[in-house]
Amino acid sequence: MNCNKEAVELMHCYLDGDITKEQEQALSAHLENCEACQKHFHELKRTITLLQSTEQIKAPANFTANVMNNLPTERKRFKYRRWFKSHPILTAAAIFFIFMISGMFSVWNQDNQLSVSKQDNLVIQGDTVIVPADVTVEGDLVVKNGDLIINGTIDGNVTLINGELIEEPIEGDGLMASVGEINGEIEHVDQMFEWVWYSIKELFENIFSF
């Protein structure tokens, strides 16, 4: 019998209670003639006896809760990173919104030149846009960084961004001439946040118009 393999396997089968009668007889015969295996078998049985006699160790009450409470708290920065990774669409939308608002603020602060929507037959004098008395403007009129004088007709809405609607005085009377006809609504955008809101509305209107 090979002591390094067969005898050890029979010992394990005996201790586990899975040994057959033939195997038990073979193990007994081998142990009678092998002092080394007798010693090893005795140590195995002694070890099992010690383990069985030892009381089962139980963790203290609230052990898990105490361990969790003593763990270092997660930094807020890592919480934010985890939230961003879990919500990629919302993160992308928030980043887009921030860049869009920043761009609008930059345009408001840097763009001081007069601009007007492309309309025929308008007269521009300095920073003032004039609708002559015999002119009818078809469609919406947008004037930015300038004033507007309406002597004719605008068949649409009027939007004044950082500008005013001016009524011309009647010569010699000190009175104001009546404003020409506006077949639509007039909107004034004089503050930065009003400009941002107006730009956002224009953006969504252009998107949904497609």
Hey, how many other C-beta atoms are within 10 angstroms of the C-beta on 158?
21
pTM of full prediction above 0.75: no
Q: What is the pLDDT of residues 142-174, one digit of tens each?
A: 888 888 898 889 898 988 888 888 876 545 444
In this predicted structure, what is the pLDDT of residue 56? Answer: 60
DSSP assigned state of 28: H
In this predicted structure, what is the pLDDT of residue 77? Answer: 59
In this predicted structure, what is the pLDDT of residue 49? Answer: 80
In this predicted structure, what is the pLDDT of residue 173? Answer: 46
- Per-10-residue mean pLDDT of the chain, 210 residues long, equals 74 85 86 86 83 65 74 62 74 74 62 77 88 88 88 89 74 51 83 62 62
For the purposes of burial, counting CB atoms within 10 Å of the CB of 76, is it exposed (0-12), middle (13-18) or buried (19 or more)? exposed
Hey, how many other C-beta atoms are within 10 angstroms of the C-beta on 124?
12
